[in-house]
Chains A and B, each alone.
Chain A
Amino acid sequence: MTDRPWTAFYGAGARAEIERASYRSIGELVRSVAQTYGRAPAFTCCLPNGMNGTLSFAQVDEMSDALAVYLREVAGLAAGDRVAVQLPNGLSFPIAVFGVLKAGCVLVNVNPLYTAEEMAKQFQDAEPHALIIADMFADKVPAATRGHPIPNLIVTRVAEFLPALPRGIVGLVQKYWDRSIKPVEIGHVRLPQALEAGRAHRAAERIEVDAYIRNVQPDDVAVLQYTGGTTGVAKGAMLTHANLILNMEQTMELISDAVKKGEEVALTALPMYHVFAFTVNLLGFWWLGARNILIPNPRPLSNLKRAFENYRITWLSGVNTLFNGLTNEVWFTDSPPRHLKFASAGGMALQTAVARKWEAITGKPVLQGYGLTETSPVLTFNPLGKAREGSIGVPVPSTLIACLDDAGNPVPQGQPGEIAARGPQIMAGYWKRPDETAKVMRDGWFLTGDIGVMDGDGYVTIVDRKKDMVVVSGFNVYPNEVEDCLATHPGILESAVIGVPDEATGEAVKAFVVRRDPGLTEADIRDHCKAHLTAYKVPKRVEFRDELPKSNVGKILRKDLRAEAMARHAAE
């Protein structure tokens, strides 16, 4: 295996190759795992005040069966029909997702915080036959479906399936105190009623959900996962059952030595409609037989306090923003989780300063992984105990990574090039967009648009996004490197670095900084950078901001800042 030196860093029991998925479909995975863990707690929804509800593996299995029957027999959907699910984390989420996938339908994950216009765009593209939505967001449905009605609307709520008293209290508080629930003004059915209808129909007609499941092929599309992509056009990445199951297994393989099946308690604060949480937290934790603590809304971060106090969290999976935020919360740093084994980070670059601070506080590492929506998403991951600082880790089993130059040829080892990937987790293509698919696939390789370096052991380090690179007098400056340096300054809360047109150097480095210390000056920042970076990398311009534009998962949107800077430049 000399061509894949990184397999030497996998755990002792880990498979270097995963030829085929252990299950033919996600429905089969759900069923099989439920039979193993039965009445053990699978999901616990924990609200900010500590009120909670739990469903066992068997309950989630039975309830998602009922939903599958409802969708197919009562709502009249066929296999392959799209079903949009627009829910925050909660007990309804796994029931909705597993129900849709057991029915052989295609899941369309929708961000609950989307505006009506954003929803409309996604609905027009995906053409869902049903929508499962939380009541808090249902007021946007009429505007989002004008002209393109969705025939079936199923409404649920955050506190659904909690015990009656907490459910009632939360309902009253949401209705009369927060006023976060608006009346649903179009025809709909409530999720519990849909399940009842599904159960009644199954009993009366003797319907076998296993028959739906058997009809699903590994290469059938399971999920349309929308991504803004690099070009800004929202596209649905078609992820198949095999893509998702394999990617979940590939990722779990790297931490298999550290976790015990049926014994872990995992915290899910990242929304599961996001591909990273979908594969790792929803599918991975289920497969692991873990108790999955679901946080409907991690804002403010104190909403997580009760979950950390009440449950022995052994695994936390999140994004840089979450880890950075927690390390700045007094209640967290005062009593960090004692049972934590490790944390995993994805979705965006994990800053070295954040990773160090996290490890100093919790005594446990954050393992960074890397991937894209189009790759289900995990391509690389840091093996536990062999994590390397700043690195996104080594390719997961059965995955090849190459760094290519502009002509598409591999660069010499240690040189930066565009990361290309090959493996069973690469999507089937973009939904109805063969032209866009052709742009990112080349000879069976998926082009990520990220610039990376691979060392002799197979550890990959992301240098930057291809399009974010700044060229200063012919020198390449990668904004991540400058931002990482800025992040080590105690007076800086966060920053974003972009290139702006400059008469002398072609492009110049500009930093947008959110201060923690209000007294921080531009000169302080430049001095700090000069101490750590080569001269051409030091920001020529610094602009202080109160906040930075961010995407729905907290990625800082450099493109927005760049567009702003370009507009200003054009005006001058």
Chain B
Amino acid sequence: MVGAFEQAILALMIFVIMLGMGASLTPRDFWLALRRPYGLAIGVISQYGFMPLIGFLLITILPLPQAIAVGVLIMACMPGGTTSNIFTYFSKGNLALSVLMTVTSTVTGVILIPIILVLYATALDLEIPRENIIITLVLLLVPVAIGMVLRKINANVGAVTEFFGSALALFFILFLMISWVPRNWQFLLSTTPATYVAAIGLGLVGITIGYLFARALRLHPRNARTVALETGIQNGPLAIAIIAFTFSGTEAQEIMAVPALYSLFIVIVSTLVTLVFRRANTAAEQKLPDSLL
């Protein structure tokens, strides 16, 4: 679906974006998120408790072909990816928590994903390619660390890096949406409504449940928004890699439709959710007298 050159370009873009995200953080942000691991624990429960359950319910309710059902279940079991960090940043969420949640879910996923799959699909035996896990972690942590160092050395360099990183992130989101549709037009036309519902619903329901769960446990709205996005936004490329590793031929192609479709719609859904979150954030801001400029 995507060539090696395109993959390299995408990886480079993500690297630069995460550099910018890193430049918005300080070590203290991470320390604060770790000091109260409550949020992190809620995130992991939400990620590996609710998401697979949502996936399982979707494939039970909806009339889906076997291959699509397998795809939905795999997608539901994935950890969070860098996309969730980007949307958390734009949602004015807790980026340090988001990064930590991504790292936690990715690392624990190596053990948790097979266990969950046993629970929901006894027959499914997946290969989890370690190198993809490592690439995910490296592409996340290395630029974030460099960004933080840049900011520490010079606040202006950090702020400019953040500015260009976030500008590129906006471009990246638009690019994903705009480039995806024409390339997969035929695929979009031949996809059944039930598959659409599953691919869109997984992210949307995941974000909603994640938010409500976090709020019910009295997490601060800022952290709840983070948990929501982290829960609903899965690591699409990892799912694709896992499918390619485990399956072959037409079966792989059929299963692959789910992460592809999911990846498009999660960007659209997350963009809308981000706009809602930003509005909520502005509404919650303290009103100061007009001219205490």
Contacts and interface: CB of A to CB of B under 8 A. Distances in A.
Interface of A: 46-47, 49-52, 88-89, 111-113, 163, 165-166, 169, 270-271, 296-302, 306, 309-310, 319, 321-322, 325, 328-330, 334-335, 547, 550-554
A552 B290 CA distance: 7
> Which residue, A89, A163, A310, A551, has most C-beta atoms of chain B within 10 A?
A310
Contacts of A322: 292
A105 B156 CA distance: 36
B281 to A, nearest CB: 9
Given A51-B160, A112-B293, A322-B292, A310 B155 contact: yes
B53 interface: no
Contacts of A325: 286, 288
Given A113-B290, A550-B289, 7 more contacts: A300-B288, A301-B286, A330-B220, A334-B32, A551-B289, A552-B291, A553-B292
B159 A50 contact: yes
B286 A300 contact: yes
Contacts of A111: 291, 293
B151 A50 contact: yes
Contact of B288 (A47, A50, A298, A330): A298
A262 to B, nearest CB: 22
B56 interface: no
Nearest to B221: A330
A309 B291 contact: no
A300 B285 contact: yes
A11 B114 CA distance: 69
Nearest to A514: B287
Given A113-B290, A113-B291, A330-B222, A166 B285 contact: no
B32 A335 contact: yes
Given A321-B288, A552-B291, A169 B32 contact: no
A310 B289 CA distance: 26
B271 interface: no
Contacts of B156: 50-52, 163, 165-166
Interface string B11-52: 000000000000000101000100000000000000000000
A394 B160 CA distance: 47
Interface string B116-157: 000000000000000000000000000000000001000110
Nearest to A338: B28
Contacts of A166: 156, 159-160
Contacts of A306: 155, 159
28 contacts: A49-B159, A49-B162, A50-B156, A50-B159, A51-B160, A52-B155, A88-B293, A111-B291, A113-B291, A113-B293, A165-B160, A271-B291, A299-B293, A300-B288, A301-B285, A306-B155, A309-B26, A310-B151, A321-B288, A325-B288, A330-B220, A330-B222, A335-B32, A550-B289, A550-B290, A552-B291, A553-B291, A554-B289
B55 interface: no
B89 interface: no
> Which residue, B155, B289, B293, has most C-beta atoms of chain A within 10 A?
B293
> Which residue, A47, A299, A330, has most C-beta atoms of chain B within 10 A?
A299
Interface in B173-221: 220
Interface in B217-232: 220, 222
> Which residue, B160, B287, B289, B290, has most C-beta atoms of chain A within 10 A?
B289
B158 interface: yes
B163 A49 contact: yes
A270 B292 contact: yes
Contacts of A334: 32
Contacts of A89: 293
Contacts of B162: 49-50
Nearest to B223: A330
Contacts of A51: 155-156, 159-160, 163
A88 B286 CA distance: 21
A28 B19 CA distance: 47
A460 to B, nearest CB: 26
